[in-house]
Amino acid sequence: MDGQGMLGLWWTVPTGLALVGYGSSLAGVTRPQRAVWVTARVVEVHQPDHGDSKRPGIPVTVAFQDPATGREFRLRHAGKNGHVVETAWVGREFPVRYPQGRPERFHLMLDMWGETRGMGGPNCTVFLLLVGLVIQAFFVWGWPRGLICLGGLLFLIVAISRDCQLARARAALLAESVAVPGRVVAVTKDVYTDGEGDEIVNHAPVVAFTTHEGILVTALCREGIPDPSLSLDRDLTIHYAPADPSVLTPDLDHDRRERATSVRFIVTLLLAGIAAVAAGVISLYHLLPVT
């Protein structure tokens, strides 16, 4: 197959997949749309063992009622069924979905944004198509048009990004934060291998604290605790949002810097998009024949 045929295949297959995905969503037959959605309540929190992996998050047992039969199910969630729970307490509620008649195959969802209509797959396919368009623009239409297309892609990423919105929401919640004593009750350990074969060890402390309302919270703290590998049994101060105890940090300044980094990244993408479009337009103008 020549290059033209490969290019045609590249555009045909993802486009077909995207159309099938969007058509299924409009018809209401995607897996999330056919699933049963209910609210589950945490009835038991299981503390990770010291030295365990952080990948399963905080294991919890959730209870929910199947609306079709009225039967209540109590099932354990440890990161394999849906999203990972990083902050848990008895009584916390999560949306869960499962195939009709199969509650044991539930998926716990932390964020329902874009999840209920099954649009994730088609949207990813369209993004791949746009990346392909940018590559084609550089090699087929010339680098000025390639820069313009690249700038447009960066604008799209900025437009659909939720980083700034989430950073503002987190800042507003932590502005009303209260401080309580906490303790590191375990330290997770994960070993990774880099491209050169060297081992990289990552530690994430698990902290426990009690809110002013008497709720015992267990949370995985990926950031904000110095020397995490040596932090077991360390006493510290936890700042949490009374409106949502899952919004917490052991270091307000560190959390503020992390939010600022997220916002700067989006701003950098926006500026890069503007620069790419401007450079492409200027170059294209200079390449046009003078009449």
Beta carbons of 116 and 35 less than 8 angstroms apart? no
Integer Cα distance of 75 and 61 in angstroms: 5
Backbone torsion region of residue 125, taken as left when φ is above 0, otherwise alpha when ψ lies between -120 and 50, otherwise beta:
alpha
* Angle 235-241-244 from CA coordinates, rounded to 5°: 115
pLDDT band at 290 (very low <50, low <70, confident <90, very high): very low
Sign of the alpha-carbon dihedral angle for 84, 243, 169, 219: negative
pLDDT band at 29 (very low <50, low <70, confident <90, very high): confident
Beta carbons of 178 and 267 less than 8 angstroms apart? no
Q: What is the pLDDT of residues 119-175, one digit of tens each?
A: 778 888 888 888 888 888 888 888 888 999 999 999 999 998 989 999 999 999 999
Q: What is the pLDDT of residues 187-226, one digit of tens each?
A: 999 988 876 767 888 999 999 999 999 999 999 998 889 9
Beta carbons of 157 and 265 less than 8 angstroms apart? no
Full-model pTM = 0.84
Where are the extended beta strands (E) located within 135-269? 178-193, 199-210, 216-220, 235-241, 244-249
Residue 132: which residues within 8 A CB-CB, separation 6 or more? Answer: 10, 11, 14
Integer Cα distance of 106 and 117 in angstroms: 17
Q: Read off the amino acid at residue 84.
A: V
Specify the 3-state DSSP secondary structure of 264.
helix
Q: What is the pLDDT of residues 225-272, one digit of tens each?
A: 999 999 999 999 999 999 999 999 999 999 999 999 999 999 999 999
